[in-house]
Amino acid sequence: MSKEHIPVLLQEAIEGLNPKPNENFIDCTVGLGGHSGEILRRISPQGQLIGFDKDPKAIKLAENNLKEFKGRFNLINDNFKNINKYEHSALSKINGILCDLGISSLQISGGDPRGFSFKEPEGFLDMRMDPRSPQTAADILNHYSENELIRIFKEYGEERYSKQIACRVVKNRKQKKFKNVSDLLQVIDEVYKNKPKPKKINPATKTFQALRIEVNQELHDLIDFLPKALDYLSPGGRLVIISFHSLEDRIIKHFFKQESIDCHCPKEFPQCVCGHKKKIKIITKKPITPGQEEMEENPRARSAKLRIAEKI
């Protein structure tokens, strides 16, 4: 695996999954196969891995990167939320599931600018992880109402100047439709021209994050997937999730908390009527974060948080 494609929190994720020979695992976001390859090594000689990725280019590259394990993995070009649509012999007993959420290094610097990075101004404002998805970032900027834009910039980007950016988008698109990354960067530059800029991140970071989340419906997919993951895990199996921003981490933290307790009834109820039984125990009371050395070697790891739960 080349330096620019270093898997985030690799050792921590593998230790969390605790793979053993001949066990079966699911990698929900295969990417270029960095995590998958290490899992396959640990579950030799007969362990099986099922991998999902929405990006067909990632699937093709991962298949090549994992060729030494041929016959022991099955890569599926689909959203991991659709795990319940597939039948595979390994699915009868899954010992661990890994999700490395967010954008991959392939999409940022894979030689095919799709608008994920503000460092490639001539790239088309696409941002689709799955090219079969109907809506691009340009479509959103050109057709969403001002209020809808404010909502996604505020909710998904936690952008301080959501209103100003949305207003400027609507104003600019009347003169020229949004097409390339440079068109959006112009808006952000105009809004931040006389305003204090963030100290640790580029002013465009939050707006790009918000658009990417909306294009790919990332938070909805995560919420849809989590209960399905528990259904597939065998007792004692572990769910390991790496998130890259607070919105994802909050969803994961809340889900783990809800599924680690028996009753969800209001406290004033004299007895339980919901019948909910806890399904997991939380392994990580606080998320695992990368060390200084990893952040220096792989800047993408900077905001990563890893949480682990074990099915009861």
pLDDT tens, position by position, 274-307: 999 999 999 999 999 999 999 998 888 899 999 9
* pLDDT value at residue 91: 74
For 153-209, what is each residue's pLDDT tens digit? Answer: 999 999 999 999 999 999 999 999 999 999 999 999 999 998 988 888 999 999 999
Say if 3-100+218-311 and 112-216 have the same CATH topology.
no
| Total Cβ atoms within 10 A of residue 197 | 9
Question: By mean pLDDT, which of 116-125, 176-185, 232-241 is the weakest?
Answer: 116-125
pTM of the model: 0.93
Domain ranges within the chain, ordered by starting residue = 3-100+218-311, 112-216
Q: Half-sphere exposure (CA, 13 Å, Cβ side) for 45?
A: 0
CATH homologous superfamily, domain 3-100+218-311:
Vaccinia Virus protein VP39 (3.40.50.150)
Backbone angles phi, psi at 243, to 5 degrees: -110, 165
For 251-264, what is each residue's pLDDT tens digit? Answer: 999 999 999 999 99
- CATH code of the region 112-216: 1.10.150.170
